[in-house]
Amino acid sequence: MEISIVFLLGLLLAFVGVIPPGLLNMTAAKISLKEGHVRGFVYSIGVCVVVGVQTYLATIFAKYLNQHPDVIDILKRVALVLFILISIYFFLLAKRNSSPQKVDTFKSKKSRFFQGILMSALNVFPIPYQAYIVTTLMSYNWLSLDRLAIGSYVAGAISGTFVALYIYILFFDKIKNSKFTAPKRMNYTIGIITALISLSTLINIINAS
């Protein structure tokens, strides 16, 4: 298949995976609102770096992961613990921010980049998601495992992730004067989203047992 089509497949499928409200995109919007677009973009670049690595690993180990559901199950259990802890953190942060606080203007771009890397690394769901997608694409002969095809697919996944994060940054900038974008509500929203992800993961683990 043509490399451009492989790139577009990677972009579209990654976009679909990131566009629903989640920890990464809501955090990108929050950082952009508090510290400006540049810091939001730097955070998003950090996220995309890890997404690229995760997608590459998922592509390389796609057949193995799909033939060993026990490994995916372990990843889900690790993710469950991480998202529960993250939910607790954001609920506590929202409670602490019940009174107006000064915005910390000394956060560096570098710290936001590494925050993006860290938060994206905690989100292990792209690995089984991409492994399933890659295996499906291979079954239809839409993707091969040569270097050029893998590179194009990974580049597409990185681009799709960045586009989704960019849309969140722009959308929340448009509604930045609404009550919803207040720091307290943003933290509660992220906490609720990660709690719902935790619940969904727990149900998935129970059903798979």
For residue 121, pLDDT beyond 60: yes
- Is residue 125 within 8 A of residue 79, CB to CB? The reply is yes
Q: Which amino acid is at 49?
A: V
For residue 188, pLDDT beyond 80: no
For 81-95, the DSSP string reads HHHHHHHHHHHHHHH
* Stated pTM of the model: 0.75
- Is residue 72 within 8 A of residue 128, CB to CB? The reply is yes
> Of 5 and 66, which is predicted with more confidence?
5
For 56-77, the DSSP string reads HHHHHTHHHHHH-HHHHHHHHH
For residue 105, pLDDT beyond 60: no
User: Which sign, positive or negative, has the C-alpha torsion 34, 38, 39, 42?
Assistant: positive
Q: Which amino acid is at 40?
A: G
For residue 175, pLDDT beyond 60: yes
> Of 72 and 26, which is predicted with more confidence?
26
For residue 11, pLDDT beyond 90: yes
- Is residue 29 within 8 A of residue 190, CB to CB? The reply is no
pLDDT value of position 101: 47
Torsion angle defined by CA atoms of residues 45, 47, 52 and 57, in that order, rounded to the nearest 10 degrees: 160
- Is residue 156 within 8 A of residue 8, CB to CB? The reply is yes
- Is residue 47 within 8 A of residue 28, CB to CB? The reply is yes
> What burial class does residue 199 get, using C-beta atoms within 10 Å of its C-beta: 0-12 exposed, 13-18 middle, 19+ buried?
middle
Q: How far is CA 157 from the centre of its chain?
A: 11
Q: Quick: pLDDT tens for 32-84.
A: 888 888 999 999 999 999 999 999 998 888 777 667 777 767 777 877 787 78
